[in-house]
């Protein structure tokens, strides 16, 4: 089944997806492996390395269902809904991801999509003529 590319056929409403959150990072359970403990709580693949112990089991039933779901982006204001296998890539390139300004003397956090504008406004970056 891993080789089979499934189309997302289930649109899950936002209020319903709120039930599918990682107990560590609070992100959606949209990155495998999804691991569940005896207490019924689940951890996503982003955080599994932090909580790995012998009492936890991979939740393959949830993962199987999640393969046909689209998830909202974890970043505020991003309108995207992302298919199970594409979430990690989207989170790396999402323009709505907050990043710290790379300039050493600046402690601002800006959206990736606003980084260039931040440099123009706050760091005397000059715009090049076209």
CATH code (residue 35): 3.30.40.10
Domain total for the chain?
2
Residue 1 lies in a domain: no
Write out the residue range of the structural domain in which residue 71 sits: 10-93
Number of H helices, E strands in the chain: 5, 8
Query: What confidence score (pLDDT) does residue 130 get?
Result: 60
- 3 state SS of 109: strand
What is the band of 53 on the pLDDT scale with cuts at 50, 70, 90? low
Asked whether 100 and 107 are in contact (CB, 8 A), the reply is: yes
Q: For the chain, how big is the Rg over CA atoms in Å?
A: 18
Query: CA–CA separation, 21 vs 17, rounded Å?
Result: 8
Asked whether 51 and 24 are in contact (CB, 8 A), the reply is: yes
Residues 69 and 110 in one domain: no
Report pTM. Answer: 0.74
Residues 62 and 30 in one domain: yes
| pLDDT tens digits, one per residue of 67-108 | 888 889 999 999 999 988 899 999 999 999 999 999 999 999
Does residue 45 carry a pLDDT above 60? Answer: yes
Q: What is the mean pLDDT of residues 110-120?
A: 94
Query: What confidence score (pLDDT) does residue 9 get?
Result: 66
Residues 20 and 82 in one domain: yes
Residue 29 lies in a domain: yes
**What mean pLDDT is reported for the chain?**
85
Query: CA–CA separation, 125 vs 22, rounded Å?
Result: 40
Query: What confidence score (pLDDT) does residue 69 get?
Result: 87
Residue 3 lies in a domain: no
Query: CA–CA separation, 36 vs 56, rounded Å?
Result: 5
Residues 86 and 116 in one domain: no
Query: What confidence score (pLDDT) does residue 2 get?
Result: 47
Query: Residue 3 has which token pair?
Result: 């080789």
Residue 33 lies in a domain: yes
Residues 33 and 76 in one domain: yes
DSSP 20: S
Query: Residue 40 has which token pair?
Result: 């019924």
Query: What confidence score (pLDDT) does residue 5 get?
Result: 54
Residues 89 and 109 in one domain: no
What does 29-79 look like in DSSP terms, one character per residue? S-SSPPEE-TTS-EE-TTTHHHH--TT-EE-HHHHHHHTTEEEE-SSTT--
């Amino acid at each position: 089944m891993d080789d089979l590319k499934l189309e997302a056929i289930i649109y899950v409403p936002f209020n319903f997806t709120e039930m599918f959150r990682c107990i560590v990072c609070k992100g959606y359970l949209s990155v495998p492996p999804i691991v569940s403990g005896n207490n019924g709580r689940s951890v996503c693949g982003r955080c599994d390395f932090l909580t790995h112990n012998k009492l936890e089991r991979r939740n393959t039933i949830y993962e199987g269902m999640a393969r046909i779901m689209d998830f909202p982006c974890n970043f505020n204001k991003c309108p995207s809904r992302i298919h199970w296998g594409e979430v990690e890539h989207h989170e790396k390139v999402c323009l709505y991801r907050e990043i710290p300004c790379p300039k050493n003397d600046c402690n601002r956090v800006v959206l990736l999509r606003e980084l260039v504008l931040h440099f123009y406004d706050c760091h005397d970056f000059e715009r090049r003529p076209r």
